[in-house]
Structure 1
Amino acid sequence: MTLPIASARGLVKTYGGGETAVHALAGIDVDFERGRLTATMGPSGSGKSTLMHCMAGLDRPTSGSVVVDGETVSEMSERHLTKLRRNRLGFVFQAFNLVPTLTALENITLPLDIARRPVDRDHLDAVVRAVGLQDRLSHKPGELSGGQQQRVACARALVTRPAVVFADEPTGNLDSSSARDVLGFLRRSVDDLGQSVVMVTHDPTAASYADRVLFLADGRIVDELRDPTAESVLERLAALSRDESAASAARVH
């Protein structure tokens, strides 16, 4: 058995207190597999982004434990968390978060420059080829399309050889063609580079690129799907929606 790249046990995240408290995560146990692409889905407010942010050390859980690549993230000081995020984790967000005054190449190598780590030219070249940006490296973000900007962000996330990449709605701002490019790259990063990726998405087509889809509702994992297709994801979402509607009706009566 290969150890999971990231796991959580009894994960609870509560915002506020008393009667106005919001329970974003309600005691989640989960393992994210090493060398796999895992998608997380659920309705708005289900806790999927909160789960990812707690796993990535961007938000602290109220209780429970988070372990990433053998490190107990939930017990780390801010200083150690900063070091972990800089050296061991990659991030891709819906907003590309590129520095507008830097070229594509400078944006890609920025995490290494900040950490004062040398650039591995062979790995950099492999990542740049994988995202198909060889002829755009001297361009600044304003000279790139949305899809190209997101591919720069993906390359930046991978250039540090992170243990795991966390991607929060990475195709949310992209047209369908650009979205396919980015998802294809994330898929290849798993298949060809052995990367581990955890992706939050609301799009069944995006989820179909994953090895496994987790479904959240009301801060809990309520289902999962292996080897998904867009159609099987849609069917599962529809079934979960029906179950939720039936449960709500039962509570009313």
Structure 2
Amino acid sequence: MGYKDILVFLDGSLDNNARMELAFSLARAHGARLTGVDVDAAAAFEGDWAERARSLAEAFHTGANGAGLQVRFKIADRDTADWKDFYAHYADLVIATQPNPEASGRILSGVPERVLMTSGAPMIVLPQGWRPQPVGNEVVIAWSPSAQATRAVHDAMPILARARKVTAFAFDPPADSEDADLEMLREHLLAHSIKVDVDKWEDAGDLSPIEALFASPALEGADLIVAGAYSHSRFREALFGGMTKSLLRQFSLPVLVSH
């Protein structure tokens, strides 16, 4: 099953154009309808954001028309912040940008964290200041045998199926009598015609899992990380605790994450 409905959050920030460009690219690649949702708060229409905030609909439609896309434009309810979780319930994939403290009060609260927690839709989160470039050619899966990582992998299947290279990174992978976890993941993805390399990082006590991930050769050339919440004992299970929280605050690559 591919992505047929993609949603992108729009706002008056300087990161908005890069976010739209990725949304246009993914919608075109997957033949998906694209929904743009204006999540600016009232404060965005004052000061240096005002012109960009007022021109969101025009910029979105102009770009979408140039890409030949079927689109919808919605304005999130600025008075009821949780109304239908900003239309994310009706999307196969949501595109957002890493939380920016400087945007506090200008973007509706709950974007993107609470939307990810409550909508049930996977989300690609872009780093602040990210410049448009291809996403999904070389993908690293931050793997653990957990419900969250399994969900993230399956939510990423349409991207993994198109990738040139997929690597599964496992920090201190669990072992049983057959050491079967990573081999079974490899076989599972191969059943979907997805070949995957494996990168095991043994825990020597000198690096945390997030530090090991970013030190791994697997990330060289990568343009997307697929991550659930690690179930490793050194990390909290909560979605925005442990590894996932570190990714959302420190990463330099787009991350596809699920809850």
Same fold flag (TM > 0.5): no
Q: Which has the higher contact order (CA 8 A, sep 6+)?
A: 1
Higher fraction of strand = 1
Pick the TM interval, shorter chain: under 0.3
Counting helix residues as a fraction of each chain, which structure ranks higher? Answer: 1
TM-score normalised by the chain length of structure 2: 0.27
TM-score (norm 1): 0.28
